[in-house]
């Protein structure tokens, strides 16, 4: 059978190509994609080729590169051993941007009937941010700073609010992102055009204590030296973004002396299997995300800034290349 998918054959080139897929095996299902979310940071890094070599980035990104890992689709065929899913079910998958995908059934999560598929397609990003907020140990009354208000940053604000953080200070250089962060739950916003001013304002807001938890979500290695100074003594500095390059830091002055903890929270740190120590797998986080949407305790429609039909993929990526600060949630629609 034949489908279509988005591909980056080389840096700065977006194409749509035909590909072949077979019938699902006994434990697999065939999905027809309805919507997918562009993961702006990862996908633009792959598209531009702007990453160190060698690095974990260069190990991950090989051309031709097939982008995408957060989609919603309808099951059109199931393998004979699949018991938990049926034809017609709407499911969340981590498959690439393609019209069809053959996926192991045990990797899927059903989308509740009352959850909009456009909100649901944020699932991979949402699960990863939930994991980050947990690893940061955000708790009731924590002063939280979020530096960088793209897709990850907005969700960090949102889930920090749900965890009971207060105040939540959102920092970015883009005015529109700062405004949107208020809808996500930020109590204060600061434009990052002068870091001395940023530090002064964070100090005032926290009554001189500085932040219990600081999330670095820009992906810019040059921001880390500034952002870590917003963390209090014994506070936690959380690298949620995937910085593209090296950072030179004075570990004595910024880590050892103030006894700050630096925590990396890549999405891959979600465990594969539930344990009593940590039951929060990607699937469990995804199920919780859908439960919160279904119950009306969480809304993320305000994060959807752009929609494109999948055949307009090149237009979507060109928009992001031109000015990514205009966009947060960029959705690719695979059904008319």
All domains of the chain in start order, with CATH:
2-122+300-333 (3.90.180.10), 126-269 (3.40.50.720)
**Cα angle value 124/216/64 (rounded, 5°):** 50
Evaluate whether 150 touches 328 at the Cβ level (below 8 Å).
Answer: yes
Provide the percentage of residues in the chain whose pLDDT is more than 70: 100
Name residue, tokens 């598209």.
47
Nearest partner of 92 among 72, 76, 106, judged by Cα: 72
Identify whether the C-beta of residue 268 lies closer than 8 Å to the C-beta of residue 131: no
Element at 160 (helix H, strand E)? helix 151-162
Helices (H), the chain: 40-48, 56-60, 117-120, 123-135, 151-162, 175-184, 195-205, 224-227, 251, 282-295, 313-322
**Confidence (pTM):** 0.96
Cβ-proximal residues to 205 (8 Å cutoff; 6+ apart), any chain? 143, 167, 169, 188
How many helices (H) and strands (E) in the chain? 11, 15
Residues of the chain with pLDDT under 50: none
Place of tokens 């598929």: 117
How far from 145 is each of 36, 151, 219, 298, CA to CA, in Å? 29, 16, 16, 21
Question: What pLDDT score was predicted for residue 224?
Answer: 96
**pLDDT, tens digit, for every residue of 301-312?**
999 999 999 999
């Amino acid at each position: 059978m034949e489908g279509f998918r988005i591909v980056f054959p080389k840096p700065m080139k977006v194409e749509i190509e035909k590909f072949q897929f077979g019938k699902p095996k006994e434990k697999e299902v065939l999905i027809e994609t309805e919507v997918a979310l562009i993961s702006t940071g990862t996908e633009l890094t792959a598209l531009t080729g702007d990453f160190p070599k060698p690095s974990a980035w260069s190990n991950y990104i090989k051309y031709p590169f097939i982008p995408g890992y957060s989609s919603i689709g309808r099951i059109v065929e199931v393998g004979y051993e699949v018991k938990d899913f049926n034809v017609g079910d709407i499911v969340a998958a981590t498959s690439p941007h393609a019209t069809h995908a053959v996926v192991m059934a045990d990797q899927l999560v059903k989308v509740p009937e009352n959850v909009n598929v456009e909100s649901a397609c944020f699932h991979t990003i949402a699960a990863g941010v939930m994991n980050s907020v947990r690893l940061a140990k955000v708790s009731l009354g924590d002063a939280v700073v979020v530096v960088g208000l793209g897709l990850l940053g907005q969700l960090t604000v949102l889930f920090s609010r749900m965890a009971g953080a207060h105040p939540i200070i959102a920092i970015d250089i883009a005015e529109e992102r700062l405004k949107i962060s208020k809808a996500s739950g930020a109590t204060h916003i600061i434009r990052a055009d002068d870091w001395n001013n940023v530090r002064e304002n964070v100090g005032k807001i926290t009554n001189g204590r500085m932040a219990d938890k600081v999330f670095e979500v820009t992906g810019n290695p040059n921001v880390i030296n500034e952002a870590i100074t917003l963390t209090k003594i014994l506070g936690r500095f959380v690298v949620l973004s995937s910085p593209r390059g090296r950072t030179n830091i004075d570990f004595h002055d910024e880590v050892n002396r103030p006894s700050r903890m630096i925590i990396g929270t890549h999405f891959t740190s979600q465990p594969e299997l539930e344990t009593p120590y940590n039951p929060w797998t990607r699937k469990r986080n995804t199920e919780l995300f859908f439960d919160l949407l279904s119950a009306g305790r969480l809304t993320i429609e305000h994060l959807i800034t752009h929609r494109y039909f999948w055949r307009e993929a090149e237009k979507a990526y060109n928009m992001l290349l031109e000015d990514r600060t205009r966009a947060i949630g960029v959705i690719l629609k695979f059904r008319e």
